[in-house]
Structure 1
């Protein structure tokens, strides 16, 4: 197969038989980029993985890359453990199996996270050694807000809210929202904490198993459809409102946190009204 046919795997038009492969490869390439590869590294890895051992010249010609850049790309893939060089002349390069490559990338990312976690204590200690120089000139409380994108940062914020909660923790959301919180251990944190839980589920046509195992006195179901609404209130002092919840078509959650007294009071009133109108599970 010549380079002209090979490059078509990446650049074919929508009216060709190869187009379906292009869409799949784009998804694979984007996933590899999410692991830290550059766009060019991902393309080289995919090319080697589907066309076998190739020289740097063959790679450069097929992918229309500068030869000098191609040498850097294959060397970087070797350093990442994603490709190996064959003892031949000219040197040929082979991609690792995809499953093995992903396992290597995951291991490297975990090692990086472990290294950062080990620095947490020392970095915090060094930070505390430096005095605080800001001068407070306003005695009034400054209200704060924070935008959060993605399940990880949002879950971490909910964990902070649960840890600081002493009176009550209120959750309004759809079954999908509550299921996501369930799998993120939010309800375990609440159970282990010092707060009291109340939940309103909307809509609720059928009680899922994870809710059946919970105290039904803590849960009310709204008959109306409010599946796009989700918010969390902690001790009437802070609120987390999902602008995109688990039911959003993109599945990418987006939330807004604030300790605004006015906003917290408003959302608390909405929760209490929903609680009063809600129905017991059984």
Structure 2
């Protein structure tokens, strides 16, 4: 009967002692999946962690998994360093402590990143040794676009744009957007390039200290009832438009990058018009 109470660990209909912790269990499972475990691996690890040492047969029965698959799961978890096998017959499996397991996963991921970083130069060199076989003509050139989710990828794209900028770099955004860029060192990157910076801040109720330290000729303020607009133009070749900027209630930014000539020209016209209508910030 004890085994029956352990069946369907994540089942909504379960009456087990674990049921009241269902949401917490699902959150832990999802985090383990983010670390690279499969859904089934995460369930097995959680089951062993909370019910103690079990044989493969007991795991299969409790989680309603095929026995063959269960053996594959515990073996893969052993290879990941998250489960250990006891010297008993039949073999019992025990999960590592959660803190130790996470530490193991972090170390493995860091080692993978380090190996990839070490191979960056050699892979790039090997790639260059292979010729490019497509012949690009004016007719074959295509305009590109890229969707970017989250602050990290967006800031990385801005850094790429800054590094390739040679003439002018135009930023239109709210104080919150400009502050986020300031703390991400965007303006420091721009200072180290030959490009000419122009900023339209909209709206501006009070001049932030970090803007006061910048060249006033490069900044203008534009009155507006909305603070959800933000876009960046690099030279006359690419644009980054925020669909969700730093003022969005979720704080989860979402942007759209493109090198579309038509779109870039359109956004340049919008920026230039805003610049003409803007007023000196100080």
TM-score normalised according to structure 2 size:
0.82
Distance 1:82 1:175 in 2: 46
Verify the 8 A CA contact 1:203 1:227 in the aligned structure 2: yes
2:131 is the counterpart of 1:146? no
Q: Which position in structure 2 is the counterpart of 1:106?
A: 106
| 1:220 Cα offset (Å) | 4.0
Q: Which position in structure 2 is the counterpart of 1:157?
A: 157
| 1:41 Cα offset (Å) | 0.7
Any idea what SS the aligned residue of 2:10 has?
A: helix
| 1:258–1:203 Cα change, 3 Å | same
| 1:80–1:14 Cα change, 3 Å | closer
Q: Any stretches of 5+ residues in structure 2 without a counterpart?
A: none
After superposition, give the CA deviation of every residue in 1:224-246 in whole Å (9 maximum; x if it has no partner): 24333221111132111123334
| 1:37 Cα offset (Å) | 0.9
Distance 1:20 1:276 in 2: 61
Q: Which position in structure 1 is the counterpart of 2:118?
A: 118
| 1:93–1:186 Cα change, 3 Å | farther
Q: Which position in structure 2 is the counterpart of 1:229?
A: 229
| 1:15–1:65 Cα change, 3 Å | closer
State the superposition RMSD in angstroms.
Answer: 3.2
Q: Which position in structure 1 is the counterpart of 2:129?
A: 129
After superposition, give the CA deviation of every residue in 1:197-255 in whole Å (9 maximum; x if it has no partner): 3333444455666x357426244444424333221111132111123334456655433
Verify the 8 A CA contact 2:5 2:15 in the aligned structure 1: no
TM-score normalised according to structure 1 size:
0.82
Matched ranges for 1:6-155 at <5 A:
6-7=6-7, 9-13=9-13, 21-138=21-138, 142-151=141-150, 152-155=152-155
Distance 1:187 1:128 in 2: 33
| 1:230–1:20 Cα change, 3 Å | farther
Q: Which position in structure 1 is the counterpart of 2:186?
A: 186
Verify the 8 A CA contact 1:201 1:219 in the aligned structure 2: yes
| 1:96–1:178 Cα change, 3 Å | farther
Number of residues of Structure 1 aligned to a counterpart in Structure 2: 280
